[in-house]
């Protein structure tokens, strides 16, 4: 018999008076207390559990309702206790059963869910399969199918944009505008900017389509950013799909109101923008006045002109070499920051909390700003991207209202923008965190004294305290400075700026460093084409930097420059010769005339300053007709996947190297200062005289941080570059050195030349011997030479006969 005690939920045990048991003869040793339960029921018989998991009683079971004391004296009590024991056992059985039931229930639920998912997937598949048919049907009914047909045609006739990574929505807009093919600058810029996420410095003539060359990448990145922001929402929706319909309705409501809000905003923005256009037309005179003002300020600021001359000089030394598009310009303010790809992984801010636009375009005049805005609005017409114009001479109030909505893209002239930044507009509060920056018509923007605000703005942009990476586009119609400035100032210019210098000047002003990411290409080359490699650079400093970068990259470079002791130089040369994969980093002076055997690659890290140097450098390879290749970086084919993997490594190395360099430089300076002060018997009581390296703890932390970074890097360096990396000796399609067709003949010629030399030497010694033996015969020097020549000729004539 099985019995179950059902205890009512809020039953409590009651203490039993002990006096009742005092007369009985039972042994109560160790008894602490008695308690009684009054409200319970005992169910006898087999326990059945219903599907819901609740215990269910058989209809035949006898239901005994008790209301009284549990513990009774004598046989009755014992019977009760036995019953209780049984019920306890029964209870654990029941628990087991309940557990099993729970599991079963869970399993069934899962099965149901899986089935639901399968059904959904099946439905989706069926829908996809049927879609083309449905569309065909719809196309036959034009009145209801216009949109769908348009969608279908989004890329029709736009094949020439293929491979340029233009977002679908933008492509539709381009098709509407009738832009069937990209212009040259667009074709050059788009893949580098979008796919490779490079910074761009572009120069192309007016009307060449520069606006879309930077506009399309901006739209691409913003769309990507927005999609990422919307992802969590769509995930929520998916979750609420599985049951919470009310939740869905709420979401829909919110979306609808948001959409409405967006529409209102859009109207207001468009209204304001068109207002601006009208006002701007009336304002042309103002524009001229502004330009005059600018000229005046140019006059006033002519004091600073000389300092810029100095900069220009420096830049000339650096050499920039930009023709149309400079990919991957380096930023001085990025040094020491984590150069991760800009978009992926970066935290996204929703509109309400954004304190900066997603993109900022700076234009020199209000007319250009409005023109660019119009271009972008047209290109973004199938997106929800909002573009606003902030220019001088127009109502500040309206512009403030526009900024309150925090547009995605702001096209601005620096003056008004700076004013609003200073006012503390929320949307511009952290303008330095803007991830997309365009400086259009940059040559006009940087004219001396033309835009003080631009300088301040760029200064602020440089002071980005976060580790977010900016994607920058610097565009210019021409590298000729349009406003050359007042005569008086121009006379002061000692040097006439050529295009290269202007670009350098421009990049310096923008905070751009004319340092192409050539290290990556060099690393790429070294990794992909093993062999003894000699790299030439123009300066000792450059070699020192390369040595530290490639040492961290575990390439074991050997320096060779004029500042080294001769013994060290020879030692490095020996090491280089002994290692079939040796890497020698040399300056022209140090390597001139050196006969280094078996050098497979000579790389011109920097273009040699003279033709002679080029010849000398190149002569280090393929000596004595050995195989060898001469490379100008980065003029060889690169595999993008490998290159981007290497970029991660090189960027990490740069961070380590920069931090190490800065720290060591400060330390060296401090040490020198302290030592000099000691020698001079001067006490340094002002700690401010020394560079701030932090206290001991901070220095310790800095070292620890560097060690950590190096450790991470070494782990990264240990990983394979690509699953099937193939290594060849030379960067050619076959991996072999493709030599000119006449190489064979030149080898023969060289061999012949060598033989001739040998013969000549032999003949000389023979003649000398003859001369010495006939002491009486005095032979003049000319006679001797003639005799030599005769001998040589004779031997050469004999040579072919011998080989025959
Ligand atoms: N791919 C294209 N196909 C046809 N027309 C284009 C294309 N891209 C741009 N355009 C048009 O060419 C004209 C010039 O473009 P845009 O204003 O971008 O040139 P720009 O180089 O910026 O000139 P500017 O230096 O004067 O500002 C515009 O009218 C633009 O609509």
HEC-encoded secondary structure of 671-695: HHHHHHHHHCCCCCCCHHHCCCCCC
The model's confidence at residue 711, banded by pLDDT at 50, 70 and 90, is confident
In the predicted model, what is the mean pLDDT of residues 30-40? Answer: 61
Contact, 329 vs 201, CB < 8 A?
yes
User: Exposed/middle/buried for 359, CB within 10 Å: 0-12, 13-18, 19+?
Assistant: buried
Contact, 444 vs 368, CB < 8 A?
no
Index of the ligand 1 atom closest to the CA of residue 372? 17
The model's confidence at residue 374, banded by pLDDT at 50, 70 and 90, is very high
- Whose alpha carbon is nearest atom 11 of ligand 1? 209
CA-CA distance, 462 to 511, in Å (whole number)? 8
Contact, 199 vs 471, CB < 8 A?
yes
State the average pLDDT for the chain: 64
The residue that leads in pLDDT, 94 or 484, is 94
Q: H or E segment at 48? A: strand 47-49
The residue that leads in pLDDT, 526 or 690, is 526
Where would I find the beta strands (DSSP E) of 578-663?
A: 583-587, 601-604, 629-632
Asked whether residue 205 carries a pLDDT value surpassing 50, the answer given is yes
Instruction: Give me ligand 1 centre to Cα 198, in Å.
Output: 22
Index of the ligand 1 atom closest to the CA of residue 186? 1
In the predicted model, what is the mean pLDDT of residues 763-782? Answer: 53
Asked whether residue 536 carries a pLDDT value surpassing 70, the answer given is yes
Cis peptide before 684 (omega within 30 of 0): no
- Can you say how many angstroms the Cα of residue 690 is from the centroid of all Cα atoms in its chain? 36
Beta carbon of 476 within 6 Å of any ligand 1 atom:
no
Index of the ligand 1 atom closest to the CA of residue 371? 17
This prediction has a pTM of 0.43
Instruction: Give me ligand 1 centre to Cα 513, in Å.
Output: 28
The total number of residues shown for the chain amounts to 804
Index of the ligand 1 atom closest to the CA of residue 211? 18
In tens, the pLDDT along 224-255 reads 988 887 765 443 333 333 333 323 322 222 23
The residue that leads in pLDDT, 416 or 281, is 416
- SS3 call for 602: strand
Instruction: Give me ligand 1 centre to Cα 183, in Å.
Output: 8
Beta carbon of 206 within 6 Å of any ligand 1 atom:
yes
Beta carbon of 207 within 6 Å of any ligand 1 atom:
yes
pLDDT at position 445, please?
75
Q: H or E segment at 533? A: strand 533-537
Q: What is the DSSP letter of 438?
A: E
pLDDT at position 540, please?
83
Index of the ligand 1 atom closest to the CA of residue 204? 21
Beta carbon of 374 within 6 Å of any ligand 1 atom:
no
CA-CA distance, 93 to 102, in Å (whole number)? 14
Instruction: Give me ligand 1 centre to Cα 376, in Å.
Output: 11
pLDDT at position 644, please?
73
Instruction: Give me ligand 1 centre to Cα 375, in Å.
Output: 9
In the predicted model, what is the mean pLDDT of residues 556-572? Answer: 88
The bridge status of strand 330-331 relative to strand 512-513 is: antiparallel
Beta carbon of 208 within 6 Å of any ligand 1 atom:
yes
Sign of the alpha-carbon torsion through 97, 98, 101, 107: negative
Asked whether residue 421 carries a pLDDT value surpassing 70, the answer given is yes
Q: How would you label 682-705 residue by residue, b for 16+ Cβ within 10 Å and e otherwise?
A: eeeeeeeebeeeeeeeeeeeeeee
In tens, the pLDDT along 384-415 reads 999 999 998 888 888 898 898 889 999 999 88
pLDDT at position 174, please?
94
Instruction: Give me ligand 1 centre to Cα 207, in Å.
Output: 5
Index of the ligand 1 atom closest to the CA of residue 182? 1
In tens, the pLDDT along 445-498 reads 766 555 677 778 877 876 554 444 678 888 877 654 433 444 444 444 445 556
The residue that leads in pLDDT, 378 or 115, is 378
Instruction: Give me ligand 1 centre to Cα 212, in Å.
Output: 7
Give the CA-trace dihedral at 767, 769, 773, 778, to 10 degrees. Answer: 40
Answer left, alpha or beta for residue 362, where phi above 0 means left and psi between -120 and 50 means alpha: beta
CA-CA distance, 490 to 225, in Å (whole number)? 46
pLDDT at position 583, please?
92
Flag the least confident range among 143-147, 487-491, 503-507, 659-663. Answer: 143-147
- Give 418's contacts (C-beta < 8 A, 6+ positions apart): 453, 456, 457
Q: How would you label 138-174 residue by residue, b for 16+ Cβ within 10 Å and e otherwise?
A: beeeeeebeeeeeeeeeeeebeebeebebbebbbbbb
The model's confidence at residue 748, banded by pLDDT at 50, 70 and 90, is very low
Beta carbon of 182 within 6 Å of any ligand 1 atom:
yes
Question: Residue 272: beta bridge partners?
Answer: none
Q: What is the DSSP letter of 62?
A: P
CA-CA distance, 542 to 749, in Å (whole number)? 39
Contact, 692 vs 669, CB < 8 A?
no
- Whose alpha carbon is nearest atom 10 of ligand 1? 209
Asked whether residue 367 carries a pLDDT value surpassing 80, the answer given is yes
To test ligand 1's pocket by mutation, which of 177, 209, 411, 444 has the most ligand atoms within 8 angstroms of CB?
Answer: 209
In the predicted model, what is the mean pLDDT of residues 62-87? Answer: 43
- Whose alpha carbon is nearest atom 5 of ligand 1? 179
- Whose alpha carbon is nearest atom 26 of ligand 1? 206
């Amino acid at each position: 018999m099985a019995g179950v005690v059902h205890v009512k939920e809020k039953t409590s045990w009651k203490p039993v008076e002990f006096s009742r048991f005092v007369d009985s003869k039972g042994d109560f040793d160790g008894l602490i207390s008695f308690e009684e339960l009054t409200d319970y029921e005992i169910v006898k018989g087999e326990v059945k559990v219903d599907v819901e998991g609740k215990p269910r009683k058989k209809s035949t079971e006898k239901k005994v309702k008790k209301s009284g004391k549990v513990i009774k004296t004598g046989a009755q009590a014992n019977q009760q206790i036995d019953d209780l024991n049984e019920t306890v056992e029964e209870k654990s059985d029941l628990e087991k059963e309940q557990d099993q039931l729970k599991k079963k229930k869970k399993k069934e639920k899962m099965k149901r869910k899986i089935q639901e998912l399968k059904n959904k997937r099946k439905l989706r598949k069926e829908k996809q399969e049927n879609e083309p048919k449905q569309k065909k049907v719809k196309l036959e009914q034009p009145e209801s199918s216009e949109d769908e047909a348009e969608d279908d045609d989004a890329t029709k006739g736009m094949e020439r944009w293929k491979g340029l990574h233009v977002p679908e929505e933008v492509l539709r807009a381009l098709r509407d505008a009738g832009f069937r093919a990209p212009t040259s600058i667009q074709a050059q810029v788009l893949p580098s900017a979008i796919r490779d996420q490079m910074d761009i410095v572009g120069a192309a003539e007016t009307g060449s389509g520069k606006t879309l060359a930077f506009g399309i990448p901006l739209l691409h990145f913003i769309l990507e950013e927005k999609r990422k922001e919307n992802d969590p929402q769509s995930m929520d929706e998916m979750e609420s799909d599985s049951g919470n319909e009310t939740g869905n309705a709420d979401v829909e409501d919110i979306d609808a109101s948001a959409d409405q809000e967006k529409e209102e905003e859009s109207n207001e923005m468009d209204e304001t923008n068109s207002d601006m256009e009208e006002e701007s037309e009336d304002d042309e005179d103002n524009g001229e006045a502004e330009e005059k003002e600018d000229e005046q300020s140019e006059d006033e600021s002519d004091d600073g002109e000389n300092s810029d001359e100095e900069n220009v000089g420096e830049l000339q030394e650096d050499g920039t070499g930009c023709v149309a598009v400079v990919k991957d310009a380096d930023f001085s303010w990025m040094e020491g920051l984590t150069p991760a790809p800009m978009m992926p992984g970066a935290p996204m801010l929703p509109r309400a909390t954004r304190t900066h636009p997603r993109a900022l375009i700076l234009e020199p005049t209000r007319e250009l700003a409005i023109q660019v805005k119009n271009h972008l609005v047209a290109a973004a017409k199938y997106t929800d991207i909002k573009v606003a114009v902030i220019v001088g001479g127009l109502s500040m109030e309206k512009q403030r209202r526009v900024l309150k909505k925090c547009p995605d893209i702001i096209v601005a002239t620096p003056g008004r923008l700076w004013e609003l930044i200073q006012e503390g507009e929320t949307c511009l509060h952290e303008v330095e965190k803007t991830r997309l920056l365009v400086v259009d018509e940059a040559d006009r923007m940087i004219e001396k004294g033309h835009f003080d605000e631009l300088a301040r703005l760029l200064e602020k942009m440089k002071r980005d305290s976060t580790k977010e990476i900016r994607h920058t586009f610097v565009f210019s119609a021409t590298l000729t400075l349009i406003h050359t400035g007042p005569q008086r100032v121009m006379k002061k210019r000692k040097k006439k700026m050529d295009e290269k210098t202007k670009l350098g000047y421009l990049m310096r002003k923008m905070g751009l460093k004319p340092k192409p990411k050539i290290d990556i290409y060099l690393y790429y080359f070294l990794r992909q084409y093993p062999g003894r490699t000699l790299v030439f650079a123009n300066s000792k400093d450059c070699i020192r930097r390369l040595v530290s970068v490639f040492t961290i990259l575990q390439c074991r470079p050997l320096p060779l420059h004029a500042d080294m002791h001769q013994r060290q130089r020879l030692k490095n040369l020996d090491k280089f010769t002994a290692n079939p994969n040796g890497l020698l980093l040399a300056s022209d002076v140090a390597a001139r005339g050196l006969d280094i055997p078996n050098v497979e690659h000579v790389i011109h890290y920097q273009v040699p300053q003279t033709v002679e140097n080029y010849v000398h450098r190149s002569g280090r390879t393929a000596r004595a007709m050995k195989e060898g290749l001469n490379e100008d970086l980065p003029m060889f084919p690169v595999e993008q996947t490998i290159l981007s993997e290497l970029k991660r490594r090189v960027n990490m190395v740069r961070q380590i190297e920069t931090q190490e360099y800065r720290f060591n430089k400060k330390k060296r300076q401090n040490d020198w200062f302290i030592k000099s002060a000691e020698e001079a018997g001067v006490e340094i009581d002002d700690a401010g005289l020394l560079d701030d390296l932090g206290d001991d703890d901070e220095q310790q932390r800095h070292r620890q941080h560097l060690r950590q970074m190096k450790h991470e890097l070494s782990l990264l360096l240990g990983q394979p570059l690509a699953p099937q990396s193939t290594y060849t000796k030379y960067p050619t399609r076959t991996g072999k050195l493709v030599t000119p067709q006449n190489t064979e003949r030149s080898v023969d010629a060289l061999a012949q030349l060598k033989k001739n030399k040998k013969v000549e030497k032999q003949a000389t010694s023979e003649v000398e011997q003859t001369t010495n033996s006939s002491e009486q015969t005095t032979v003049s020097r000319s006679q001797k030479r003639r005799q030599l020549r005769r001998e040589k000729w004779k031997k050469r004539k004999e040579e072919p006969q011998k080989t025959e």
